[in-house]
């Protein structure tokens, strides 16, 4: 065999290695992680060489302000509240990572106005929540919660009255997003008939069928499961009127947001027997820490066939691990490269990496107020250099420019940085080199 035939085949193209960028005019990156954020995130940040400080609980008041004052990134779950006053004290804060689905614990608009990007994990716990709902459906249909409580009290109560299979029952899903859609598939596999209602037109999975209105869905469902975000439109979505539309003897499950269901109306429907049972994982007011603090809803405590859980829909090892990876990855890309994909309060933009060979190319990250004439001013600053690539986008009052400019010497970095910061629309400017 000739040398030609034995020669190893080379790649049809050469892929340049990306340049590892460093922040200009910034000290070591400091990360503060609260509420026992998963170790996958801690390890990911430490691998980047960041300085990481962790706490198992939420912080409030002066303690939170003291800790957040000089960090570049803070990671939280659902209990830590990042209000306007707290964010105003965070002078170095670049980004917030919500290691959960919800972001209503953060003042998103004020964060954006300060150039702080907020990231969350909208998908990673979908399976965990969907599986919890399946467990709740069976537990409610068989009254397992009440039987379990009775057994712990030494009461043997073997009954079949008003205990059912979930097969052939109608499940109505409010909100057919990632969780609702996964629940739909699991419920169908167990023999349920699935209908859903969503404000958006969404392609059904399997045999699920959309309904034209919330009222139509409530009226036909044996079980109603809620999976909507907290918005002005969803607050108090389910009250006495909606519960009365539901079938007598039906069940309501809320694993979405506590403000969606009016608790007094739910308690009334359970005590009257109109609802045969309910499962509630989220509440309008939730304790900030574990302990004997669940005291705000005494009317629910005596209700029959009611499952109450402490906001644990996404609290599985698998979900928390995936959330840790997803959010830490988004934050790392934002810190190291300026990529804002996945930000919930911010323009989402990205640029391909700078090649390792481009020694004198730097990346400018310019967050500014969305007013006319800004790009003209910024491009005048870039005029003495070559703009390799540039991307700009806006979201409401905030705009974000990413630009890679070449022929920038180490001596020029300070002057470029200072010129951009001096523009009237500047909110925050970073230069990576």
CA neighbours closer than 13 Å in the CB half-sphere of residue 407: 7
Which one of 77, 147, 227, 311 is the catalytic residue? 311
User: Pick from 254, 176, 251: which is nearest to 210 by CA?
Assistant: 176
CA distances to 168, 186, 201, 254, 316 from 101, rounded to whole Å, are 32, 21, 22, 15, 14
Full 3-state SS string of the chain: CCHHHHCCCCCCCCCCCECCCCECCCCCCEEEECCCCCHHHHHHHHHCCCEEEECCCCCCHHHHHHHHCCCCEEEECCCCCECHHHHHHCCCCCEEEECCCCCCCECHHHHHHCCCEEECCCCCCHHHHHHHHHHHHHHHHCCHHHHHHHHHCCCCCCCCCCCCCCCCCEEEEECCCHHHHHHHHHHHHCCCEEEEECCCCCCCCCCCEECCCHHHHHHHCCEEEECCCCCCCCCCCECHHHHHHCCCCEEEEECCCCCCECHHHHHHHHHHCCEEEEEECCCCCCCCCCCCCCCCCHHHHCCCCEEECCCCCCCCHHHHHHHHHHHHHHHHHHHHHCCCCCECCCCCCCCCCCECCCCCCEEEEEEEECCCCHHHHHHHHHCCCEEEEEEEEEECCEEEEEEEEECCCHHHHHHHHHHHHCCCCEEEEEEEC
Tell me if residue 72 is catalytic: no
Catalytic residue among 89, 131, 240, 286: 286
Is 318 a known active-site residue?
Answer: no
CA–CA dist 285, 297 (Å, integer) = 9
Q: Is 257 a catalytic residue?
A: yes
- Strand partners for 311: none
Catalytic-role residue among 178, 257, 363, 385? 257
As annotated, the active-site residues are: 257, 286, 311
């Amino acid at each position: 065999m000739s040398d030609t035939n034995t020669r190893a085949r080379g790649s049809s193209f050469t892929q340049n290695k990306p340049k590892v960028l460093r922040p200009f005019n910034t000290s070591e990156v400091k990360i503060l992680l609260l509420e026992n954020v998963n170790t996958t995130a801690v390890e990911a940040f430490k691998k980047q060489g960041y300085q990481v400080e962790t706490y198992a609980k939420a912080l409030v008041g002066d303690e939170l302000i003291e800790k957040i004052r000089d960090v570049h990134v803070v990671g939280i779950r659902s209990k830590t509240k990042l209000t306007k006053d707290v964010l105003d004290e965070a002078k170095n804060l670049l980004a917030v990572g919500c290691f959960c689905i919800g972001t209503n614990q953060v003042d998103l608009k004020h964060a954006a106005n300060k150039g702080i990007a907020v990231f969350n994990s909208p998908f990673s716990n979908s399976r965990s929540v969907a599986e919890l709902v399946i467990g709740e459906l069976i537990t409610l249909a068989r009254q397992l919660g009440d039987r379990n409580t009775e057994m712990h009290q030494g009461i043997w109560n073997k009954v079949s009255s008003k205990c059912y299979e979930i097969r052939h029952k109608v499940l109505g899903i409010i909100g057919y997003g990632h969780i609702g859609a996964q629940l739909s598939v699991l419920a169908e596999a167990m023999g349920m008939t699935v209908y859903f209602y969503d404000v958006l037109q969404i392609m059904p999975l399997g045999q699920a069928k959309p309904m034209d209105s919330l009222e139509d869905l409530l009226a036909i469902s044996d079980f109603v499961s809620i999976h909507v975000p907290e918005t002005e439109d969803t607050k108090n979505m389910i009250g006495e009127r909606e519960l009365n539309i539901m079938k007598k003897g039906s069940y309501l499950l809320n694993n979405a947001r506590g403000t969606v269901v009016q608790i007094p109306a739910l308690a009334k429907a359970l005590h009257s027997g109109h609802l045969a049972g309910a499962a509630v994982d989220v509440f309008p007011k939730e304790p900030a820490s574990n302990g004997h603090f669940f005291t705000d809803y005494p009317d629910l405590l005596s209700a029959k066939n009611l499952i109450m859980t402490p906001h644990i829909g996404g609290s599985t090892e698998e979900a928390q691990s995936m959330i840790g990876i997803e959010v830490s990855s988004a934050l790392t890309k934002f810190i190291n490269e300026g990529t804002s994909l996945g930000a919930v309060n911010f323009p989402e933009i990205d640029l391909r990496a700078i090649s390792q060979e481009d020694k004198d190319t730097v990346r400018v990250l310019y967050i500014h107020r969305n007013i006319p004439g800004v790009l003209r001013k910024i491009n005048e600053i870039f005029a003495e250099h070559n703009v390799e690539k540039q991307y700009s986008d806006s979201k409401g009052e905030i705009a974000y420019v990413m630009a890679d400019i070449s022929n920038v010497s180490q001596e020029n970095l300070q002057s470029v940085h200072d010129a951009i910061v001096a523009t009237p629309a500047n909110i925050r400017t970073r230069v990576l080199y």
